[in-house]
Structure 1
Amino acid sequence: MLLAPDTDGYAAATRPRNSSTPQRPGRVARVTSPGDLATALREVAALETSSGRRLQVVPQATGHGAGAPVTDDTVLLDTSGLADVAVDPDARVATVGAGATWAAVNAAAERHGLLGLAGSAPSVSVSGYTFGGGIGWLVRRHGLASAALRAVHYLDGEGRSRVAREDAAEETDREALWAFRGAGGVGVAHTLELDLVPVPDLHAGALLWDAVALPELVAAWADTLDSAGAGVATSIAVLHVPPLPLFPEPLQGRVAVHLAVADPDGPDGAAPLLEAVRSVAAPVSDTWGATDAAGLARIHLDPPAATPAVGAARWLDAATPGLAADLLATAAEPGSPVVMLELRHVTGAPAGRDGALVSAPGDFVFHAVGPLGRSTREQIGSAFARARSVWSAADTGLTPGSWVDGAASVTDALPPHVRERAAAVADRVDPQHRIRRSRLLG
């Protein structure tokens, strides 16, 4: 059933996690089972006939990647109700609904000593994150989440059920799986099959210092990266700490250095790094230790509530440690429009199966976020430009598309030949362009 703007279901579906762009679709279709998808597409076609207007379908689960306008010539397809999770521990495979969150998937998987390749925020949906590449805390051990994608059950533009697999009978479905692996996907997905990985001795934590120690902490981090274990993932950031109980009272309202560290193989791999940074200054807060999936999901210190924000991100090369201190300093002044600027270390992340984006295009990821309301888009954009003047010396030319908060399109997330191939697949699956294309395709 299509919901009109004056209904409760409509209001709930149009409050995405990133609320930087208002959503006012003509109708909302609430989906709670795969069968609802075909019904919704038929109802959209009937509404087009009765209204005399062409409508576009916009799938959305949690809305972490929301940024493009959603206006009255669209029907928002709310897939958050597709949240079933099933784990086959022997095959190490999870079969999950497109609206399932990583918190739900890993809560089920860890009962069997396994985890999915989740991202930094537990409330992110599995589908959008995986289809955009997926850079998580296990990336240096197991690679991008897109490469762990085994199959996708989806609908094409005519409402036909299809399965994207490597051994699918039709070339279109084989090509669709290639596109789902990092190019944002095609059609409307309702079920994913994903590899799970063993995590023998998960350790993780977040360390916080006052930003007065920024230069020395960055130097200690940069100097010890090469001695870190092969599975150790780190993120070093400047963070403008809000006055929330989530953070230690001495840092609330101040600028902090935030180091997040994770290792699925135990405590030893991160020991040289942790010893180096702790020797610079005693952390105000230090949660490093053995943990579970929920603890791993907390180390990035993401805001607990939906936030209107815009972001910037870039894949950077091996020269990044040499410019890290200057780059982080661009966001370290009190009152900066950028409240979080981080560098994520992903060197050595293995490549996986064939797909649009299944290997890390760089050794590091730059990511910055500016909340709207605290600052204007123009002010945030100027701060991003200052950061760009520093990180451009290590630029790979590509952007991690799923990390660009509040953007309508991310045209440099893929090399041109990859984007063109993915767009051609989307045209075959949905020749009438009934379904809005991924923002990674422009």
Structure 2
Amino acid sequence: MLVDAATDGYAAATRPHNSSREQRPARVAVIARPEDVAPALAEVAALARSTGTRLEVVPQATGHGAGAPVDDGAVLLDTSGLTDVSIDPASRVAVVGAGATWSAVNAAAERHGLLGLAGSAPSVSVSGYTFGGGIGWLVRRDGLASGALRAVHYVDGSGRSRTAADDAPDEVDRAAMWAFRGAGGVGIAHTLEFDLAPAPDLHAGALLWHADALPELIAAWASTIGALGGTVSSSIGVLHVPPMPPFPTELHGKVAVHLAIADPDGPVAAAPLLDAMRAAAEPVSDSWGPTDAAGLSRIHLDPPVATPAIGDARWLDASTPGIAAELLATAAADDAAIVMMEIRHVAGAPARRPGAVVAPPGDFIHHAVAPLTLFPRDRIETAFAGARAVWSTADAGSTPGSWVEGAAHVPDALPADVRARAAAIADTVDPGARIRRSRLLG
């Protein structure tokens, strides 16, 4: 059903999680069931004919990656209502709607001792996250979420229902499966099937220190990270702490060093890194210990409400520990425009299935975020450029596209040959280009 700006459905759909861009589409197509997608496309075509305009269809679930304008030349296809979650504990497979969030999936999966390969924010939908690669807290043991993807039920540009899978009878759907694994996907996805991972002894936590201990902490991190067990995933960074819970009062309004760390197999493999960093400086806050899916989702210390922000990110190579202190120092000043900068350790993550991006192109990821509510865009870009001058010596050559907040396009998210192949698949699935292509293909 298409609704206009006078309705509650329009207002709810056009407030994406990342609100760095205002959304004012001609209409919103509210999708409550998978069967609603094809009729919605037909309604858009009818509206375009009656108005004599070309209307682009823009799928959106939670809008965590929203960065491109959505104006009166588009119809926003709101898939946030597709929230069904079904868990098969015997096969360790989840079948979920494209609008389901990771918090909902893992709340259901953990009842069976399983977890999906969720990212840092529990409010992210499974679809955009997975189609962009999906880098979570189980990545070094279980790989990217794209590699766990088994099948995608989707609708093509003509309104035909299809199923992408490696063994699909139609070559188009086999190719689409490759594109859904890390190239942003094609068509309009409404249901995903993916593997779940066992988490027999989930441990995780967030540790915070005063930023004046940054040199000692980075030295301890750099000397230990290369020998860390393959089940441990972690991120070290600097964070400008807001004056609110869950942060300790002692750090309110100050800059902190933040270690987020997780291991689904217990506490032993993480001990060398934790011991080294605790010995370097006493943490102000330390939540490491046994936890559940909800606790795992909190270790990144994301803001509790949506914040207009832009971000920068890059895959980095094995030399990153040598530049880590200098890189994080670019965001550690009290007046720095970057309020969060991290280095995520992903080395050794396995590739489970073939796809566009199913293995990390680097051993580490640089990620920085700056709020538009506090700083003008030009000052933020200057800060990003300062960090880029440091991390360029460890550049692995591409960008984790889903980590670049507020961007309309991420042209270097994919190697040229991968981008060309994915674009050709999108052209086959939607030859009339009715559906907006992934920003990874821009």
TM-score by length of 1: 0.99
Deviation at 1:227, TM superposition (A): 2.8
| 1:120 counterpart residue number | 120
Deviation at 1:62, TM superposition (A): 0.3
Q: Secondary structure at the match of 2:298?
A: coil
Q: Secondary structure at the match of 2:270?
A: helix
Matched, 1:149 2:149: yes
Mapping of 1:309-348 within 5 angstroms? 309-348=309-348
Q: Distance in 1 between matches of 2:184 and 2:153?
A: 15
TM-score by length of 2: 0.99
Matched, 1:239 2:239: yes
| 1:188 counterpart residue number | 188
**Unaligned stretches of 5+ in structure 1?**
none
Q: Distance in 2 between matches of 1:337 and 1:431?
A: 43
| 2:131 counterpart residue number | 131
| 2:160 counterpart residue number | 160
| 1:105 counterpart residue number | 105
Deviation at 1:5, TM superposition (A): 1.0
| 1:385 counterpart residue number | 385
Tell me the number of residue pairs that the alignment of Structure 1 and Structure 2 aligns: 442
Deviations 1:9-60 (A, max 9, x none): 1111100000001101010011110011111111101101110101000000
- More displaced, 175-184 or 242-251? 242-251
Aligned partner letter, 1:240: H
Deviations 1:260-295 (A, max 9, x none): 010111001011111111111111110000001000
Aligned partner letter, 1:56: E
Deviations 1:44-96 (A, max 9, x none): 01101110101000000000000000000100000000000000000000000
Q: Secondary structure at the match of 1:342?
A: strand
| 1:304 counterpart residue number | 304
Matched, 1:94 2:94: yes
Q: Secondary structure at the match of 1:152?
A: strand
Q: Secondary structure at the match of 1:297?
A: helix
| 1:416 counterpart residue number | 416
Matched, 1:72 2:64: no
Deviation at 1:335, TM superposition (A): 1.7
Aligned partner letter, 2:175: E
What's the % identity of the aligned pairs? 72
Mapping of 1:254-273 within 5 angstroms? 254-273=254-273
Q: Secondary structure at the match of 1:151?
A: strand
Aligned partner letter, 2:383: A
Aligned partner letter, 1:73: G
| 2:438 counterpart residue number | 438
| 1:277 counterpart residue number | 277
Aligned partner letter, 1:76: L
Q: Distance in 1 between matches of 2:373 and 2:190?
A: 35
Q: Distance in 1 between matches of 2:91 and 2:179?
A: 24
Deviations 1:401-438 (A, max 9, x none): 00000000001001000000000000000000000000
Deviation at 1:228, TM superposition (A): 1.7
Q: Secondary structure at the match of 1:244?
A: coil
Q: Secondary structure at the match of 1:269?
A: coil
Alignment RMSD (CA, Å): 0.6
Q: Distance in 1 between matches of 2:286 and 2:373?
A: 31
Q: Secondary structure at the match of 1:35?
A: helix
Aligned partner letter, 2:6: D
Q: Distance in 2 between matches of 1:70 and 1:322?
A: 42
User: Runs (4+) of structure 1 moved beyond 6 Å?
Assistant: none
Deviations 1:95-142 (A, max 9, x none): 000000000001110111111100010000000000000000000001
Q: Secondary structure at the match of 2:313?
A: strand
Q: Distance in 1 between matches of 2:287 and 2:21?
A: 35
Q: Distance in 1 between matches of 2:203 and 2:219?
A: 23
Q: Secondary structure at the match of 2:53?
A: coil
| 2:397 counterpart residue number | 397
| 2:363 counterpart residue number | 363
Q: Distance in 1 between matches of 2:383 and 2:119?
A: 26
Matched, 1:169 2:159: no
Aligned partner letter, 1:300: H
Q: Secondary structure at the match of 1:5?
A: coil
Aligned partner letter, 1:361: P
Q: Distance in 2 between matches of 1:72 and 1:14?
A: 12
Q: Secondary structure at the match of 1:236?
A: strand
| 2:225 counterpart residue number | 225
Q: Distance in 2 between matches of 1:128 and 1:222?
A: 33
Deviation at 1:226, TM superposition (A): 2.5
Aligned partner letter, 1:385: A
Q: Secondary structure at the match of 1:398?
A: coil
Q: Secondary structure at the match of 2:87?
A: strand
Q: Distance in 2 between matches of 1:179 and 1:51?
A: 34
Aligned partner letter, 1:118: A
Q: Distance in 1 between matches of 2:270 and 2:246?
A: 24
Q: Distance in 1 between matches of 2:179 and 2:330?
A: 36
Aligned partner letter, 1:367: H
Q: Distance in 1 between matches of 2:44 and 2:308?
A: 29
Deviation at 1:6, TM superposition (A): 1.8
